[in-house]
Structure 1
Amino acid sequence: MSIKQLKDINKNYISQTFEATVLMSDIKVKASKNGKRYADVIIQDSSKAMEVKYWDYEENEEFINSLSPENAINIKAVVGEYQGQIQITIKQIEKANMDNVNIGDLIPTSNWGIDSMKNGLDFFYEKVKSSHMKKLIDRMIFSNDYFKKFSTHPAARQVHHNFYHGLLQHTLEVLKFGYTVATTKKLSERQIERLIVMTMLHDWAKIIEYKALPSVGFTEEGTMLGHIFLGAHTTLNVINEIEDFDQDDKLIILNGILSHHGHLEFGSPVLPKTVEAQILHQADKMSGDIESIMSFMADQENEEDTFTTKLWNMGTDYYKKGIN
């Protein structure tokens, strides 16, 4: 059985075998209780990325290790179920004929449209009037060194905005949410400028933390240091290169970047200490949570159950009947 896209797979396919052309974007080799090595593999096409099992890794180790994220593969796999969740197990893998494959068709991509997103970013850029803050985002967002990465990188490995242009879409969502709150609560123009700058930079270092698509996962630097430290550290270095950067703006922007996860136990080394930082945290959480829920519901929209399965990072299932 062939499928058009990975997102089409649902519980109606359990016990069935399917064929598909996908990218193998990441692989983690593990060992079972009896010591036999197997692989958790992340495969993807334009509709979604998913983790699947490959139990025959040991027998095909050399071949599997020769594959790269830039090379499409043809797979034959069976759909199963484990602890109430769909589990895909690969039975056969072979290299695809790249003459018949467009890699762009196999990479999940934002549906917002890159031109529209660039216009949105320009809208908020024009709200920043202070020259020192404008220089900061000019160097870190809009420079030739960084803009392509910032506008194409994913914002996460799996949970939310884990697609091409994902970081840019997430940043724009946070900017929109935050700006709405800031203007509703009548923050000063200076506060709004700082909020815009810290929002643009809060996840900036994900261009360092995550590999560029079609690869999936963390870089060594990202694993060792994380995007919060990398973002604040780079921002501080750039600020120190800008003549007469206002000290209050410096402290407030850095606190916003460092505290945007909102809680020490969630990875922020400090708590939000300003209204701007608290708005950023809440807007960031809303963007990530809602995208996570909506993409999870979309993955299960073709299943007949009234509720989704439990979404692990939100701790609950979701009602589906009212979405259409």
Structure 2
Amino acid sequence: MLVKQLKEITKEHLNQVIEAAVLLVEVKVKTTKTDKRYADVIIQDGSKSMEAKFWDYDEKEDFFSQLSTSEIVVIQALVGEYQGQLQLTIKEIKLAEKNAYQMGDFIPKSEWSLEKLEQGLKYFYDRIESPQLKQLLDEMIFSETHYEKFMTHPAARRVHHNFYHGLVQHTLEVLKFAYTVATTKQLTQRQIDRLIVMTMLHDWAKVIEYKALPDLGFTEQGTMLGHIFLGAHGTLNHMNEIEDFNEDDKLIILNGILGHHGRLEFGSPVLPKSPEAQILHQADIMSGNIESILSFMKEQEGNEESFTGKLWNMGTEYYKKSFEP
């Protein structure tokens, strides 16, 4: 059975063999308890990504070893289920014919237009009054060196906003949530300036931590250092080059970047220590969690059951009829 997009695969296809053109984005070779090698594979197209298994790795070792990064392949796969999630077992795999497909069709993209994303960044940039803080953003986001990467990178590998323009969409969502709280609680203009800047920069270093799409995964710097350290380190270096940069602004913004995960066990080396930093942390959680839930629910729209499967990072299932008008 030919499927045009991975999102078309539902539980109605269980135990059926489907054929699809997909982007092969990650292959991890593993070994069973009986020392048989197999491949854990992540595939994707413009609609979603999925996990798949290829059990006859030894027979195709030469094929996999000759693949370059992110190849478009045609697979035949048996649809199965594991821990409530659909999973594919690849039976046949081959390279797609050259020029038969466009790479852009296999990269998930933000539903927000580029114009809307750029307008949103400008709106919040214009809310800042401090010239030093505007200069910091000019150098770290709006410079020729960083702007394209900031506008195109994903915000995560899998959990949320893991698509083209994902980082800037996530940043704008966090800005909207944070700004609403700040104005509702009547923070001062100086606090709002700092909040906007720390929010714009809280995940800035993901342009260093993650590979550019269509590749998935971490760079060497990302693996060794992580975006929290890289972001704070990069921000401090730029701050130190800006004349008359306020020391309180420096401390509070850096604490916001370092503390935006909110808990030491979640990777932040310090806790949020200002109202601005606490607002950023809460807004960041809201953006990530809601995007994760909505994306998960959309992936299971074809399933007629009332509830989704369990979303692993949230620990629960969701009522699908909430999507109904």
TM-score by length of 1: 0.98
Number of the residue aligned with 1:222: 222
One-letter identity of the residue aligned with 2:237: N
Number of the residue aligned with 1:146: 146
One-letter identity of the residue aligned with 2:284: D
Q: How does 1:64-83 map to 2 (within 5 A)?
A: 64-83=64-83
Number of the residue aligned with 2:294: 294
Shift in Å, 1:65: 2.4
SS at match of 1:121: helix
Shift in Å, 1:29: 1.6
Q: Are 1:305 and 2:305 matched, yes or no?
A: yes
Q: How does 1:125-136 map to 2 (within 5 A)?
A: 125-136=125-136
In structure 2, C-alpha distance between the alignment counterparts of 1:228 and 1:318, rounded to whole Å: 31
Instruction: State the identity as a percent.
Output: 66
In structure 1, C-alpha distance between the alignment counterparts of 2:83 and 2:48, rounded to whole Å: 21
CA deviation vs aligned residue, 1:24-65 (integer Å, no higher than 9, x gap):
111222111111221111111100112211112222122112
One-letter identity of the residue aligned with 1:72: I
One-letter identity of the residue aligned with 1:168: V
Number of the residue aligned with 1:52: 52
Q: How does 1:168-187 map to 2 (within 5 A)?
A: 168-187=168-187
List runs of 5+ in structure 2 lacking aligned partners.
none
Number of the residue aligned with 1:121: 121
Runs of 4+ residues over 2 Å off in structure 1 = 68-71
TM-score by length of 2: 0.98
SS at match of 2:321: coil
- Does the 8 A contact of 2:25 with 2:71 survive in 1? no
SS at match of 1:295: helix
Number of the residue aligned with 1:242: 242
**Count of aligned pairs between the two proteins:** 324
In structure 2, C-alpha distance between the alignment counterparts of 1:131 and 1:58, rounded to whole Å: 61
In structure 2, C-alpha distance between the alignment counterparts of 1:243 and 1:37, rounded to whole Å: 58
In structure 1, C-alpha distance between the alignment counterparts of 2:173 and 2:244, rounded to whole Å: 31
Judged with a 3 Å threshold, the aligned counterparts in structure 2 of structure 1 residues 69 and 111 are, in CA distance, closer, same or farther, namely farther
Q: Are 1:269 and 2:269 matched, yes or no?
A: yes
One-letter identity of the residue aligned with 2:265: E
Number of the residue aligned with 1:201: 201
In structure 2, C-alpha distance between the alignment counterparts of 1:205 and 1:62, rounded to whole Å: 36
In structure 2, C-alpha distance between the alignment counterparts of 1:13 and 1:272, rounded to whole Å: 47
CA deviation vs aligned residue, 1:76-100 (integer Å, no higher than 9, x gap):
1110012222111111111112312
Number of the residue aligned with 1:104: 104
One-letter identity of the residue aligned with 2:91: K
- Does the 8 A contact of 2:50 with 2:87 survive in 1? no
- Does the 8 A contact of 2:210 with 2:222 survive in 1? yes
- Does the 8 A contact of 1:45 with 1:108 survive in 2? yes
- Does the 8 A contact of 1:70 with 1:103 survive in 2? no
Q: Larger deviation: 66-75 or 274-283?
A: 66-75
Shift in Å, 1:6: 0.6
In structure 1, C-alpha distance between the alignment counterparts of 2:175 and 2:248, rounded to whole Å: 21
Number of the residue aligned with 1:279: 279
List runs of 5+ in structure 1 lacking aligned partners.
none
In structure 2, C-alpha distance between the alignment counterparts of 1:168 and 1:262, rounded to whole Å: 21
Q: Are 1:318 and 2:318 matched, yes or no?
A: yes
Number of the residue aligned with 2:252: 252
Q: How does 1:13-24 map to 2 (within 5 A)?
A: 13-24=13-24
Shift in Å, 1:70: 4.3
SS at match of 2:227: helix
SS at match of 2:28: strand
CA deviation vs aligned residue, 1:167-220 (integer Å, no higher than 9, x gap):
010000000000011011111111111000000100011111111100011111
Judged with a 3 Å threshold, the aligned counterparts in structure 2 of structure 1 residues 48 and 69 are, in CA distance, closer, same or farther, namely farther
Number of the residue aligned with 1:84: 84
One-letter identity of the residue aligned with 1:157: R
CA deviation vs aligned residue, 1:221-252 (integer Å, no higher than 9, x gap):
11111110111111111111111110000000
In structure 2, C-alpha distance between the alignment counterparts of 1:47 and 1:16, rounded to whole Å: 20
In structure 1, C-alpha distance between the alignment counterparts of 2:211 and 2:57, rounded to whole Å: 24
Q: Are 1:137 and 2:137 matched, yes or no?
A: yes
